[in-house]
C-alpha cells in the first residue's frame, strides 16, 4: 500500500522558493533542502525528482505568483502611468524592507545560470516575452485612449521598461535608498509622458 504524503506540496514549494531565492541554485545543497523543507531525502526525490527539478518547479511557482502580482498592480490603476508607478513603488518598498538583499528571484536566476543552462535560458526568454507583452498591452491601451502620445511604439516602450525593471531590481539590492530609487523611476517613467 503506497504511503500517504505527510506534507503539503505547495507549502514545500514555497519553502524551496525561499531557500533558492536566498542562496541561489548552485549554493543550495540537497542537505540544505532536506533541512529547510522539513522532509526526508527520499520524499523529496519521490515527489519532486532531484534538485534541478525542484528548482524548476519552485521557479515556476515564483514566476506565476509574481506575474499575477504585476498584472494585478498594473490593472489596479485607471492610468497606465500610475499603474507602472505603483509597480515600481511596490518594488522600492520591497527592496527597502529586504534585509537579506535578495532582490528578484528571476533576475538572480538569470545572472547565475545564463549562459550555461540552455533550458533555463529558454524559460527566461519566455518569461521576458510574457512580461513585455503584458507591459505592451497596457501601454497600447494608454496610447489608444490618448494618455500616451500616439507616435510612441508600445513594444519599444515595453521592452525599455522591462529592461529598466530588471536592472532596477539589481540596483536596489546594492543601494536601497528610497529617494534615489524614486528619482530613477521618475526619470524612467518620463518616457510615458
Q: What's the whole-number mean pLDDT along residues 51-68?
A: 95
Domains annotated on the chain, with CATH: 1-55 (1.10.10.60), 76-192 (1.10.357.10)
pLDDT confidence band for 155 (50 / 70 / 90): very high
Q: What's the whole-number mean pLDDT along residues 105-118?
A: 94
Helix (H) or strand (E) run with residue 140 in it: helix 118-144
DSSP class of 102: -
Contact of 77 with 36, CB cutoff 8 Å = no
What does the pLDDT read at residue 8?
Answer: 85
Q: Answer whether residue 79 shows pLDDT above 50.
A: yes
Contact of 75 with 28, CB cutoff 8 Å = no
CA-nearest of 13, 71, 62 to 37 is 13
Contact of 20 with 59, CB cutoff 8 Å = yes
Task: Summarize pLDDT for 8-59 with one digit per residue, the tens.
Answer: 889 999 999 999 999 999 999 999 999 999 998 998 999 999 999 999 999 9
Say how far apart CA 100 and CA 86 lie, in whole Å: 23
* Percent of the chain scoring above 90 in pLDDT: 86
**Least trusted range by pLDDT, from 3-7, 58-62, 82-86, 177-181:** 3-7
CA-nearest of 188, 58, 83 to 134 is 83
Contact of 105 with 62, CB cutoff 8 Å = yes
Grid coordinates standing for 73?
498592480
Distances in Å between the Cα of 134 and the Cα atoms of 32, 125, 176, 191 are 36, 14, 26, 17
DSSP string over 29-80 = -HHHHHHHHTS-HHHHHHHH-SHHHHHHHHHHHHHHHHHHHHHHHHHT-SSH
Mean pLDDT across the chain: 93
Amino acid at each position: 500500500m503506497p504511503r500517504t504524503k505527510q506534507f503539503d506540496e505547495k507549502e514545500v514549494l514555497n519553502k524551496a522558493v525561499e531557500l533558492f531565492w536566498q542562496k541561489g541554485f548552485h549554493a543550495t545543497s540537497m542537505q540544505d533542502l532536506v533541512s529547510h523543507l522539513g522532509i526526508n531525502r527520499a520524499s523529496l526525490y519521490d515527489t519532486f525528482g532531484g534538485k534541478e527539478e525542484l528548482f524548476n518547479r519552485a521557479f515556476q511557482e515564483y514566476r506565476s505568483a509574481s506575474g499575477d502580482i504585476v498584472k494585478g498592480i498594473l490593472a489596479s490603476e485607471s492610468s497606465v502611468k500610475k499603474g507602472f508607478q505603483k509597480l515600481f513603488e511596490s518594488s522600492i518598498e520591497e527592496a527597502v524592507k529586504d534585509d537579506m538583499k535578495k532582490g528578484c528571484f528571476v533576475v538572480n536566476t538569470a545572472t547565475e545560470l545564463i549562459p550555461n543552462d540552455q533550458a533555463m535560458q529558454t524559460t527566461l526568454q519566455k518569461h521576458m516575452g510574457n512580461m513585455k507583452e503584458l507591459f505592451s498591452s497596457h501601454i497600447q491601451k494608454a496610447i489608444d485612449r490618448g494618455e500616451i502620445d500616439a507616435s510612441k511604439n508600445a513594444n519599444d516602450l515595453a521592452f525599455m521598461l522591462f529592461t529598466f525593471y530588471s536592472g532596477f531590481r539589481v540596483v536596489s539590492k546594492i543601494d536601497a535608498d528610497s529617494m534615489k530609487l524614486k528619482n530613477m523611476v521618475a526619470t524612467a517613467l518620463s518616457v510615458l509622458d
